[in-house]
Structure 1
Amino acid sequence: MKIDIQGTLYEIPHIEITLLNALVYIRENINPSLKFGYNCKSGVCGSCAVRVNFQETLSCQYKVQDGDKIEPLLRHENVAGLLVDYKKAKQNLQKIQTWLHVRSEKVMGEACEELIEKQSDCILCSSCFSACPVLDVKQSFLGPFALTRAWRYVADVREEEKKSFIEKMQNDGIWDCTLCGECTVACPMGIDPKSDILHLRTKSMQAGFFDPTPQPSFEDDFGFNPNF
């Protein structure tokens, strides 16, 4: 069985093996200079995320298939081999300040727990960041996982200062998303950032914010003005 890692073919003697174990085998037996990341080996830390056949995945969870093409995550600075620098993506969490700011005495009920439980599962693997085409044209875009983390706190009944989250996501945030859904497909935890961004847009409009992008008029689209 052969796999392609950034244009170099490697032969793996094993049939049933995870991609992470295959990478370890290659480094120990074929190419000692091969660089890749991993930590927990259990799909929890997110540090082993790569692209397999043009789709983001966790190498510790993926079973290697003959002919697989392996590459590093996109839209990150490449360090070496399959290693990328996550710094820029994770700095966006600090920009939007995704943590409780003003905690109330409200008790989180079962309904609220269910509402934000999935968002709390984010492992910061940055797969959604890699999959997001908006970042090709706007590098300042906050990115899917920063926004889905923001929704986790906007939806939290214990947070009293929700408007601070909403204000921070107006520029380079929710209105720049094209709602293509690639982030949702890429997430190994089953989180749906596209849906979370739609929720954030609704909350933003309820708070008095609107899409700042100039919208085409009916006249622009169809060549006449219905109010004439």
Structure 2
Amino acid sequence: MNITVKLHRQPSRTSEPTYQTFEIEADPTRTTVLDVLIRIQSEQDGSVGFRRNCRNAICGSCAMRINGRSGLACQKHISEVMGEHDTELVIEPMQNLPVIKDLIVDMTKFWDNLHKVDPYVSTASRQISKTEYLQTPAQRAKLQAAANCILCGSCYSECNSAAVSDRFVGPHALAKAYRVMADNRDDRTEERVEKYNESGFVWDCTRCYNCNEVCPVEVQPLDRISQIKHEILANRDLPESMPQRHRHTLLDLVKEDGWIDESKFAVRLVSDDFKDLKALLGIFPVGIRMLLSGKIPYPWQFKKSEGAAETKALIEAIASAKNK
């Protein structure tokens, strides 16, 4: 089969990106994207730049965007990434990181963000004199998914929050953060929960699900982020942050009415039920515009859900079961 490859080219950091087209003959069911790149580099243009190493989806070096979706070039066969009606195989560098050359990106920010979560079992807990620190199969299973992360960068490349916020550490870092939190050998869990409750960590995640979709080794970073959130919400000693209040306010309103009364939501969330009048005045103009445009109902228009009582009973039953 003749395959048209549209390849992102950028000779240096300061160069304007362009695309170069190559034609290559390959069996789409047996040829990987990395095979294609190696053949282009060895047979047609030796200046093409990309990273590769193990060719077994272990090292993560060959992460790139393939037909608009990040993944490992060594793992993806042509038949997987080219749809029935696709005419080109488009290969580009990962997003959210500066390009050094062609498909090679500067991973400095990626590694710096990882270090922000301190993804190592604490030194103090490893000071063991005579025997190993053993784990049961159940204890190991708790952290297994996060431990599978190969730090390829695919999730970071597709992260919407990382695209718009320099402070967000990224799904890769938070997956590793949960891996340490879930490890019974670590002795800094409380400190970690407090840290990850700060701005730039779990509450900055937009829950777009892209990280789960592209992860090549099924770490499911969004699930790990959610698990950290559960640990934060279970810690009643932490001062209530705005994201926590958002969650509590939403839950309280659903318990009261069966669904959310938007006219109450902003007042409770931002002003803490009129305790912060300055904050309330700050959202007043927005609230008026939303009322006039029909985005939220007038207070006298809102009606409780017919199943409000059942909804409240269900929420309370779940909360009771969790506390046992």
Same fold (TM over 0.5): yes
State the distance in 2 between where 1:197 and 1:114 align. Answer: 17
Unpaired runs of 5+ residues, structure 2, are: 9-18, 247-261, 267-295, 303-324
What secondary structure, in the 3-state scheme, does the structure 1 residue paired with 2:111 have?
helix
In structure 2, the CA distance between the partners of 1:26 and 1:111, relative to structure 1 (3 Å rule), is: same
In structure 2, the CA distance between the partners of 1:50 and 1:223, relative to structure 1 (3 Å rule), is: same
Which one has the bigger helix percentage? 2
- 1:173 to 2:219 alignment: no
Q: How does 1:72-221 map to 2 (within 5 A)?
A: 72-101=93-122, 102-103=124-125, 107-169=134-196, 170-207=198-235, 208-209=237-238, 210-213=240-243, 215=246, 218=264, 220=266
In structure 2, the CA distance between the partners of 1:42 and 1:162, relative to structure 1 (3 Å rule), is: same
Alignment RMSD (CA, Å): 2.2
Q: What letter is aligned with 2:211? A: C
Structure 1 residue 187 displacement after superposition:
0.4
State the distance in 1 between where 2:212 and 2:241 align. Answer: 22
Identity between Structure 1 and Structure 2 (%): 28
What secondary structure, in the 3-state scheme, does the structure 2 residue paired with 1:108 have?
coil
Structure 1 residue 212 displacement after superposition:
2.9
Query: Does the 8 A contact of 2:158 with 2:210 survive in 1?
Result: yes
Aligned residues: 226
Query: Does the 8 A contact of 1:36 with 1:83 survive in 2?
Result: yes
Q: Which moved more, 1:102-111 or 1:158-167?
A: 102-111
Structure 1 residue 17 displacement after superposition:
1.6
Q: What letter is aligned with 2:92? A: E
Q: Which moved more, 1:1-10 or 1:51-60?
A: 1-10
TM-score, scaled to structure 2: 0.65
- 1:5 to 2:7 alignment: yes
Unpaired runs of 5+ residues, structure 1, are: none
State the distance in 2 between where 1:219 and 1:199 align. Answer: 25
Deviations 1:3-41 (A, max 9, x none): 111232211122232111211111111111110001111
Who is 2:320 aligned against? none
Q: What letter is aligned with 2:66? A: V
Q: What letter is aligned with 2:223? A: S
Larger radius of gyration: 2
State the distance in 2 between where 1:182 and 1:55 align. Answer: 10
What secondary structure, in the 3-state scheme, does the structure 1 residue paired with 2:242 have?
coil
Higher relative contact order (CA 8 A, sep 6+): 1
In structure 2, the CA distance between the partners of 1:211 and 1:12, relative to structure 1 (3 Å rule), is: farther
TM-score, scaled to structure 1: 0.91
Query: Does the 8 A contact of 1:92 with 1:142 survive in 2?
Result: yes
State the distance in 2 between where 1:155 and 1:68 align. Answer: 40
Query: Does the 8 A contact of 2:263 with 2:298 survive in 1?
Result: no
